[in-house]
């Protein structure tokens, strides 16, 4: 037997074909070269034809907004390749938000931002960072070629021997367990001088300051102004008096600078007013990871959220999960409860993401494309809720509330297409517009 690897030009796929010795190589190759797909006749005449296994990415480590870092890409079917610093036809890392690619010869002229690939095995690739023109100004888009917290990054891998692929995986820069998390924010008043206490983890440490910083932003979403950040064009004219900054708590003594001054383009003064929605964002002061986010309503009682799931680890194709959401203003203050399974916190395509709306007692599931919700259904009622990754036993589902805690009990079944290690992510909103700090990982589940 002889083995051929044939690339299908229309699909980018590959076939591994074993040619019987009786068939002349030249005739066989000519036959394949004149056809874009393999016909049923060939499948009937040539035993041993099988689809070659393409690469699969099961996880990508967190990506930071820095050129030098360790990015570990784990999966199967990568093939093997010697370490290199430059471009290759077998890898591409793209900052989708800022419209630049790195490490690939598949783009016109190859990529000017290159990759330092220190190891490449069939199951794991290690990238030591971005090289070449990283940080240089681009030629046609309004960003430098840099990674920034919150950017969406697409990782693509082709098999280094067969060119099968690409496998794809999406990561959000700075979205990692090591990044900051805000667990609570004290009440915010409609006055310039007040004490705002931001509590959580992963803030890093920073000296007190009165002005702007790249590591904090407080925004009045209702009245369209920001305070305390150098990340906005020209920095913010409303500044912050930050009196302490530790890894777990930040204290702001109030708003300074142009607080109360008339704005330049919106019909409000730069002031806080009762009922305004305020968005707090924090980046780690050492790594730049983040932002962690938390919403509060001016004049509303402060809310502390906690979320948990039981079980928070294990494996299996089906399981009853009890998701708990605690709101210190009482469970009736909760408006939305989210539970999601997937390789990362964000990127809803081909995942299992559920949302429960308390006021209407309705449950929803994201579709395969991650673009719309399926449902609604009522927990404990009739109906079906499923996509190609998971399904909910609606009739056996339940919702209970007591004191500060809402419990969402969901019997879930996972499909073989969703096999692999999946994170369990949760968040909640309350009726005052306050939220948890984004999608927080609360566990890990292995789908067989």
> What is the value of pTM for the model shown?
0.43
Nearest CA to 324 out of 302, 306, 348 is that of 306
Output the pLDDT for position 175. 55
Q: Are residues 286 and 315 in the same domain?
A: no
Q: Are residues 227 and 161 in the same domain?
A: no
Q: Are residues 164 and 203 in the same domain?
A: no
Domain stops at, among 297, 315, 350:
297
Domain that holds residue 12: 2-51
Q: Are residues 23 and 141 in the same domain?
A: no
Q: Give the count of beta carbons closer than 10 Å to the beta carbon of residue 37.
A: 11
| Residue pLDDT, tens place only, 139-154 | 666 667 888 877 888 8
More confident residue, 291 or 424: 424
| Residue pLDDT, tens place only, 223-240 | 889 999 998 877 899 999
Q: Are residues 291 and 322 in the same domain?
A: no
Q: Are residues 153 and 82 in the same domain?
A: yes
In a domain, 271, yes or no: yes
| CATH number of residue 374's parent domain | 2.60.40.10
Nearby residues of 413 by Cβ (< 8 Å), 6 or more positions away:
317, 318, 390, 391, 393
Q: Are residues 365 and 422 in the same domain?
A: yes
> Residue 227 and residue 213: Cα distance in Å, rounded?
10
Residue 122: exposed, middle, or buried by beta-carbon count in 10 A (0-12, 13-18, 19+)?
middle
Q: Whats the size of the chain, residue-wise?
A: 448
Q: Are residues 205 and 291 in the same domain?
A: yes
| CATH number of residue 149's parent domain | 2.60.40
| Residue pLDDT, tens place only, 169-221 | 877 786 554 568 888 888 899 889 999 999 988 898 999 999 999 999 999 98
> Residue 364 and residue 52: Cα distance in Å, rounded?
37
Output the pLDDT for position 144. 77
Indicate whether 76 pLDDT > 80: yes
Q: Are residues 280 and 411 in the same domain?
A: no
Q: Are residues 42 and 60 in the same domain?
A: no
Q: Are residues 44 and 63 in the same domain?
A: no
Indicate whether 322 pLDDT > 90: yes
In a domain, 252, yes or no: yes
Output the pLDDT for position 121. 94
Nearby residues of 140 by Cβ (< 8 Å), 6 or more positions away:
none
Q: For residue 416, what is the DSSP state?
A: G
Output the pLDDT for position 137. 75
Indicate whether 358 pLDDT > 50: yes
Confidence of residue 330 (pLDDT cuts 50, 70, 90): confident
Confidence of residue 435 (pLDDT cuts 50, 70, 90): low
Which H or E run contains 30? helix 25-33
In a domain, 178, yes or no: no
Domain stops at, among 124, 139, 172:
172
Number of domains comprising the chain: 4
In a domain, 177, yes or no: no
Q: Are residues 319 and 439 in the same domain?
A: yes
| Residue pLDDT, tens place only, 25-75 | 334 333 333 333 333 333 333 343 334 468 888 778 888 888 889 899 988
In a domain, 65, yes or no: yes
């Amino acid at each position: 037997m002889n083995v051929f690897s044939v690339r299908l030009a229309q699909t980018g796929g590959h076939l591994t074909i074993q040619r019987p010795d009786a068939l002349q190589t030249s005739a066989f190759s000519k036959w394949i070269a004149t056809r874009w797909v393999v016909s049923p006749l060939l499948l009937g005449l040539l035993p041993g034809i099988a689809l070659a296994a393409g690469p699969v990415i099961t996880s990508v480590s967190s990506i930071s907004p820095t050129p030098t870092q360790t990015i570990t890409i784990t999966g199967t079917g990568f093939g093997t390749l010697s370490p290199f610093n430059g471009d290759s036809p077998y890898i591409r890392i793209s900052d989708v938000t800022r419209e630049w690619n790195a490490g690939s010869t598949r783009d016109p002229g190859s990529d000017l931002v290159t990759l330092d690939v220190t190891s490449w095995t069939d199951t794991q690739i290690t990238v030591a960072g971005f090289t070449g023109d990283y940080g240089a100004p681009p030629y046609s888009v309004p960003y430098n070629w840099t990674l920034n917290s919150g950017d969406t990054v697409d990782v693509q891998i082709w098999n280094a021997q067969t060119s099968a692929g690409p496998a794809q995986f999406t990561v959000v820069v700075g979205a990692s367990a090591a990044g900051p998390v805000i667990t609570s924010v004290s009440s915010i008043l409609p006055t310039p001088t007040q004490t705002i206490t931001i509590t959580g983890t992963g803030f890093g440490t920073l000296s007190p300051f009165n002005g702007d910083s790249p590591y904090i932003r407080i925004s009045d979403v209702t009245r369209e102004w920001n305070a305390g950040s150098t990340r906005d064009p020209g920095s913010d004219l409303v500044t912050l008096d930050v009196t302490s900054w530790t890894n777990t708590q930040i204290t702001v003594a109030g708003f300074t600078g142009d607080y109360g001054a008339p704005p330049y383009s919106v019909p409000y003064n730069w002031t806080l007013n009762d009922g305004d929605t305020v968005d707090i964002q924090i980046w780690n002061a050492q790594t730049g990871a983040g932002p962690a986010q938390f919403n509060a309503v001016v004049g509303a009682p402060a809310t502390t959220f906690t979320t948990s799931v039981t079980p928070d680890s294990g494996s299996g194709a089906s399981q009853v999960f009890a998701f708990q959401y605690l709101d210190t203003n009482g469970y009736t203050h909760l408006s939305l409860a989210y539970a999601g399974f997937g390789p990362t916190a964000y990127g809803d395509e081909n995942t299992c993401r559920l949302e429960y709306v308390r006021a209407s007692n309705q449950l929803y599931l994201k579709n395969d494309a991650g673009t719309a919700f399926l449902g609604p259904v009522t927990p404990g009622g009739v109906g079906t809720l499923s996509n190609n990754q998971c399904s909910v036993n609606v009739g056996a589902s339940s919702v209970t509330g007591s004191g500060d805690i809402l419990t969402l009990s969901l019997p879930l079944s996972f499909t073989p297409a969703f096999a692999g290690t999946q994170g369990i992510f949760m968040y909640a909103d309350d009726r005052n517009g306050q939220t948890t700090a984004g999608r927080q990982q609360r566990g890990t589940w292995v789908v067989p």
